[in-house]
Structure 1
Amino acid sequence: MNETVLDWLHKLLSADAPEHAVLKSVRFDLRGLFPWWVAVLIVVAAGAGTFFLYRREHGRLGLFRRGLMALLRTAAIGLLAFLLLRPTVVAEYLGQRPRGVDLLIDNSQSMTLRDRRVTPPDRMRVAIALNLVPPQTSLAEAVSLGSVPPATPTNPERAQLVRDVLANPRLHLAEDLRKPGTLRVFLFGQNVRGLNTDPSGEKTGDGLENLPVVFKADESRTALGDAVNNLLLRKEGDLPSAIVVMTDGRDNASKLPLDEAARQCARAGVPLFIYGVGSPVGGLLQVKDLAVTDTLFYGDTVAVPVRWRAQGIRQGRVAVALTLGGKEVARREVPVRDGENTEVLTFVPRKGASAEEKLNLGATVKLLDDPTFQDGLQRPVRLVDRRVKVLYIENAPRWEYKFLQTALLRDRRVEASFMLARGDTGVLHSGKPFLPTFPRRDQLFGYDLVILGDVPADYLGKQHQEWLRDFVKEGGGLVVIAGREHAPADYADTP
């Protein structure tokens, strides 16, 4: 069926065509409870009977009028039979729903680094990004630093380069990314965060207008491979037509390597494009990881492994330092070595004015001969000056109980209390560290950790189980040690 006829049928039917679809074919179907030939037989039989009855009627009506009346009744029966056949016009539309592009922008702290742009082609790349020269400028023409515009910065921040590239009117990157469909913008560090919705869940366009406010490059971890894979696994909508990643390539938190994520994109038929922000030739110092617990104690010696990497720096000395709340607490100078290195720095937190503080623990690496080569990483920590309160509930003094009791009582940072369901009454009433009964709700919430051993569920009762559930919801810790008699089987279908 040619396109002219299809257009005429589409206008005749006045059908609402799906978006991005055109009429492909039209067919007529009968979907009644009986076939069409049965309807024909019914109409023929009814028409014959009607004409016969009108023919036998004698009255003032003439032959013509009787024939006309019989014809009208036969037509009415035919129309009813036609409607019972449930005639249906089936229109088939063909089209392809547009799939938008997903733009993934690195929001980690490494994007605040400033790369040294030492070669003319590398400086020219920066000039193109900052709209100082046309995008068609050939890098081969940058044979010397004199061919680079004087206003080109020598060590621009990576995050600022991303902002400049997206805002460059001659690159019109944002406009081109919107052409296939709806553009969806995401920031990623440890997790992926979409910019297409506001905090209330309302759609706010593609999110690029919010980028100057929310793109701060302040996340401490980078899961590049996981971020790409998460876009493929999203349940909302179809797969994107392409994934564009703007990153410096640093990945220190992914469970899935980037090459495996790229293979997943290939299997799903989603092209993956990566815009590298860093410099391909300049030297680089990076802090890869900072291993520290969330809670530190005043007066304790804290050992912090700092994992860092040097690339393209042949000689010199590097200062590796730790800062707590902006004050340097440990420092070590070592010769620069190409590749990954680890330095373990130790310090003792000193008590301040308050018994508990929340500060940032930072690690920095700096080349002493050239301070432009430096990097840093921060972790939030909590400093406390109190003992960790632990409640250990056990059924009987089994081997695990004896071992943990000794270890907990020896630790000067732990204030332990013990309950035994089948313990000696005299021991349980002898005072600390033993408790004769389950603590009150307010006392329970004063503990930091509850260790639950092989205790019968009936011993705790439903109320105490609900208290423990609420205790965990409020941020308390719970460790369950399985046993041969009750835990964890007794606690199925309990709060």
Structure 2
Amino acid sequence: MEKHFQFNSLEWSGWTIVSVCAVLVVLVSIILLFRYERRLVSHGIGNALIALRISALILILLTFLEPVLTWSFNTEKTGRLIVALDVSDSMNTQDRHASKLEKLQLARALKMIGNDQIDARLDRWEAAYAAGEEPAWVEESETANPEKRTQLAESRRENLETIFDEIDQMSRKEIAQKLLTNPAHPILDQLKQRGDIDLVLFAGDAVPTEQTTLENSLAEVPDQVHMELSNLSQALKAAGSGSESGNSPISGYVLLTDGRDNSQLDPVSTAEQLGQMKVPVYPVLLGSANQPKDISVSALDYPQTAFKDDKPLLKARIGTSGFEGQDVRVALMQGDQELAVKRFKSSGVSQLLEFELGSDKPGRQEYRLETDILPGETREDNNEKTFAINFVDDKSHVLLVEETARWEFRFLHNALERDKRIDLQQVLFEQPYMGLLPQPFFPNQLLINAPQPNQVADNNAEQPKPFADKDLIIIGDVSPEHVQEEHWKQIQAFVGDQGGTLVLLAGKKYLPLQHRSQTLNELLPVKDLSVVDWNQANFKVPPNERGMHLALTPEGELEPLFQFDATPDVNRDIWKNLPGHLWFLQGTLKPGATVLAYGLSPFNAPLNEERDGVIVVRQYGAGQVIWIGIDSTWRWRFRMGDRYHHRFWGQLARWAARNKASAGNEFVKFSLNKTDVDAGEIATATARWTQVYLKEHPNIKSTVEIVRAAEPDQIVASFELQTQKNNPQLQEANLPELDPGEYELRLKPSTQQPGDKEIVTPLFVHEVKTIELGNLASNPQLLTEMAESSGGKLLTPGTIDELLELIPNLNQEISNQDEVSLWDHWLILVLIMGILTVEWALRKLNGLP
């Protein structure tokens, strides 16, 4: 231990000079006072007084100079190394397509071949394979006999081919397992000699494990890792087993993985954060750098519900690699029946195919999309996917209300009018009318069947519901003169009591800024609206680049009405590249409102998703209100025609019809966000209570029972719905994990309701056809970025020994320093006050002033 004494104030020369000058002035004053007092008191008393005064002065000077006592000492820090093994589905791949060079390097890393005597020969073989040449199996110096040379060369070649065959039978997971626990070269045991090691298995999630698990077969892994996903970010957040070393700081991560990641997160950003904390990441790349030979059904995009006799579109993305120039056959199947076949010539990149689906009978229809298995494919379990669509014998009933035939009305009317599965009614208040026809082309009054002034009210008669047959009402830029408070109250009942969907389209003239309706204000999902106009600011740029473009929030990406492509990244790009909007009503979200799409400022202004929300939804009673803060969705047709504009509004109309058709009664609507899910996929159950019923039963609770459709008397699971704080009418909860099969979900309220009809909705859980298998190539680029961002290094099986040099010792001595400041210690104040008190008393006792 080393101790040091220092004065902090000496670092500031100005303060030191002032302190010294002040002390000199006081010292001179003390001397002058001493000379005067010598004539009044004895010599001893005078010396005692000056000694006391100088002592107090020295202590005060020391206080000004801020003396600090510091000492340093060393402590031992025990770090932890997290060794994480990827066990996702892609790690079950056998890289038979690997080059001979890669197989030879892997064989040497696994100690299947090589020793001190032949390593130089293996180096020459590697160099030959790297140059694309056949190795010289026998050197001339080994034997002069041509016959023996031929026999020896053939023997060595066959031996190497046998080793290559063994490697072809190993999955990436097995290779990782052997790298860590190989008795001939136990890397894991050698790392343990350097400090504490925590083992982790990861895929979609990460769980701790023990070395005995690695030494045994990894054919079965815990369900909670979710093998159908790869989440490298989750691996970098793993904290180990939580044993005695669990509280020790993490010194680094070793990831044995192929680099596949489909979590839609950014593992590079997570690695960069670790780098800032001096925690490096060392990925060990498993899998061949060569593109595997594989045909796969990567992703499917289809509506979960469609109308009977409708033609819903299936979009399938087919992954192809290693079969360039070959014909690929894709078949749409229903049972054993082949509905449609498409062929294309593989180019090595994914191919997007479209199939029309249809059914002339209602109900759930199951389909299967499959490709032929071509010779030499790396995997044969990713060539098909099953899916189902629920066909409904109905139409979506839509009411479109506008003031004038503005651009938004014209294109929206055309989009909905041409859709055979939409029953459209329009109201256009202001339209040219010359009186030649008995009535205008469009109805120009919004009739609500209100009681006439002279009509006697019958309290026992059921009040008319003017919009009872509607699923969706779209209100455009209507004036307060034509849509008054009584109209808004009927629209409010349509949403809150009947479970309908209301879309409010922003308008430059009237809606909603010119309205003073309390009911409209209550329905709106936003408040404090203000106009944002970019019309002149960037008018000179091309039309498709002008104005504010839209981007989807994570909540918006989950809604089917926003899905234009099966691949999330492609869908995001479509939305961001749609033509922009030059005018926008910006507002603040109300409690319970959710932003589905927000605006991207053309001038890269600071983004506030909530403040810049363009498409906002809010649950209101049994229904919902959608606010669209622009008046120009028609601009999406620029150079694209009807493709996205018609699809958006068509999907919105179907979405509204499905919501109103949810299971329930006049008091509650019960639904699932998805009726068809993969095993392990999160689904949410929702109950929406009417405001009137909730006032009568404010403490109502809802339980959901899950039963198999084939065994309705056996309850598989049950759970309670949770009331949402920002919307008491809404109760939600995620479903527990279920095995594949067909289920029914029953809503069980805590209060007795009129009637004995059960509230039931179906659920279908499918076997997981993982997106992991859509792309089997290893991803060294991603792992390199992760390593460099964290200060680590990318390794391969052949260079994994470098870990022993990169991580020399996890137990390190750390130099610590502690200090005690003397200048503000209480003892200094006591000494100064004590000295001054004694000096004062001594003066008084001797008659001095």
On whether the aligned pair clears a TM of 0.5, the verdict is yes
Out of 466, 485, 499, which is 1:446 matched to?
499
Aligned-residue sequence identity (percent) comes to: 17
Aligned-residue offset at 1:36:
3.0
How far apart, in 2, do the equivalents of 1:288 and 1:146 lie? Answer: 35
Change (3 A) 1:366 1:158: farther
How far apart, in 1, do the equivalents of 2:306 and 2:91 lie? Answer: 32
Q: Report the secondary structure of 1:37's partner residue.
A: helix
Partner of 2:417: 409
Change (3 A) 1:28 1:294: same
Q: Residues 84-483 of structure 1 correspond to what in structure 2 (within 5 A)?
A: 84-87=64-67, 110-116=90-96, 133=112, 143-144=157-158, 152=166, 154-158=168-172, 161-162=175-176, 165=179, 170=185, 172=187, 195=206, 214-219=224-229, 246-247=257-258, 275-280=284-289, 284-287=293-296, 289-297=298-306, 299=308, 300-301=310-311, 302-311=313-322, 318-321=328-331, 332=341, 337=346, 339-340=348-349, 342=351, 344=353, 346=355, 348=357, 364-369=370-375, 373-374=379-380, 375-376=382-383, 383=390, 385=392, 387-388=395-396, 392=400, 394-416=402-424, 427-429=445-447, 437-438=487-488, 439-440=491-492, 443=495, 446-447=499-500, 450=503, 452-454=505-507, 455-459=511-515, 461-466=520-525, 470=592, 472-474=617-619, 478-482=627-631
How far apart, in 2, do the equivalents of 1:102 and 1:215 lie? Answer: 17
Is the counterpart of residue 71 in structure 1 residue 220 in structure 2?
no
Change (3 A) 1:417 1:328: same
Is the counterpart of residue 41 in structure 1 residue 41 in structure 2?
no
How far apart, in 2, do the equivalents of 1:43 and 1:134 lie? Answer: 88
How far apart, in 2, do the equivalents of 1:133 and 1:86 lie? Answer: 69
Higher-RCO chain (CA-CA 8 Å, sequence separation at least 6): 2
- Aligned letter for 2:523? H
How far apart, in 2, do the equivalents of 1:155 and 1:133 lie? Answer: 14
How far apart, in 2, do the equivalents of 1:296 and 1:250 lie? Answer: 30
Aligned-residue offset at 1:150:
10
Conserved in 2, the CA contact under 8 Å of 1:50 and 1:73? no
Is the counterpart of residue 80 in structure 1 residue 60 in structure 2?
yes
Of stretches 63-72 and 171-180 in structure 1, the one that deviates more from structure 2 is: 171-180
- Aligned letter for 1:311? G
Conserved in 1, the CA contact under 8 Å of 2:8 and 2:66? no
How far apart, in 2, do the equivalents of 1:273 and 1:159 lie? Answer: 17
Structure 2 residue ranges without an equivalent (≥5):
127-155, 209-213, 215-220, 238-250, 432-441, 449-465, 476-482, 527-588, 594-616, 633-849
Conserved in 1, the CA contact under 8 Å of 2:80 and 2:252? yes
What CA RMSD, in Å, does the superposition of the two structures yield over aligned residues?
6.1
Conserved in 2, the CA contact under 8 Å of 1:309 and 1:339? yes
Structure 1 residue ranges without an equivalent (≥5):
1-6, 14-25, 198-207, 232-239, 484-495
- Aligned letter for 1:284? K
Q: Tell me the TM-score normalised to structure 2 length.
A: 0.37
How far apart, in 2, do the equivalents of 1:181 and 1:419 lie? Answer: 74
Q: Report the secondary structure of 1:57's partner residue.
A: coil
How far apart, in 2, do the equivalents of 1:160 and 1:391 lie? Answer: 61
Change (3 A) 1:341 1:462: closer
Aligned-residue offset at 1:333:
7.7
Conserved in 1, the CA contact under 8 Å of 2:428 and 2:445? no
Change (3 A) 1:133 1:100: same
How far apart, in 1, do the equivalents of 2:254 and 2:62 lie? Answer: 54
Aligned-residue offset at 1:43:
4.1
Is the counterpart of residue 57 in structure 1 residue 206 in structure 2?
no
How far apart, in 1, do the equivalents of 2:627 and 2:89 lie? Answer: 33
How far apart, in 2, do the equivalents of 1:422 and 1:179 lie? Answer: 83
How far apart, in 2, do the equivalents of 1:328 and 1:342 lie? Answer: 24
Conserved in 2, the CA contact under 8 Å of 1:394 and 1:452? no
How far apart, in 2, do the equivalents of 1:399 and 1:45 lie? Answer: 94
Q: List per-residue Cα deviations over 1:312-370 (Å, max 9, x = no partner).
A: 6887x75534578x9987674858746236363535365999x579x8x8755442446
Aligned-residue offset at 1:247:
2.4
How far apart, in 2, do the equivalents of 1:323 and 1:109 lie? Answer: 26
How far apart, in 2, do the equivalents of 1:164 and 1:330 lie? Answer: 47
Aligned-residue offset at 1:395:
4.1
How far apart, in 2, do the equivalents of 1:50 and 1:68 lie? Answer: 13
Change (3 A) 1:331 1:282: farther
How far apart, in 1, do the equivalents of 2:32 and 2:355 lie? Answer: 109
Q: Tell me the TM-score normalised to structure 1 length.
A: 0.58
Q: Report the secondary structure of 1:56's partner residue.
A: coil
- Aligned letter for 1:367? I
Q: List per-residue Cα deviations over 1:158-201 (Å, max 9, x = no partner).
A: 4555566566684636986998999999978xxxx88599xxxx
How far apart, in 2, do the equivalents of 1:327 and 1:166 lie? Answer: 47
Aligned-residue offset at 1:285:
0.6
How far apart, in 2, do the equivalents of 1:54 and 1:182 lie? Answer: 78
- Aligned letter for 1:339? G
Partner of 2:680: none
Change (3 A) 1:86 1:403: same
Aligned-residue offset at 1:57:
2.9
Partner of 2:841: none
Q: List per-residue Cα deviations over 1:124-169 (Å, max 9, x = no partner).
A: 666678x674898967598445675699463444455556656668
Change (3 A) 1:283 1:125: same
Conserved in 2, the CA contact under 8 Å of 1:103 and 1:184? yes
How far apart, in 2, do the equivalents of 1:136 and 1:414 lie? Answer: 75
How far apart, in 2, do the equivalents of 1:160 and 1:449 lie? Answer: 56
Conserved in 2, the CA contact under 8 Å of 1:318 and 1:335? yes
Partner of 2:614: none
Aligned-residue offset at 1:311:
0.6
- Aligned letter for 1:306? R
Partner of 1:8: 2
Partner of 1:486: none
- Aligned letter for 2:2? W
Q: Report the secondary structure of 2:301's partner residue.
A: coil
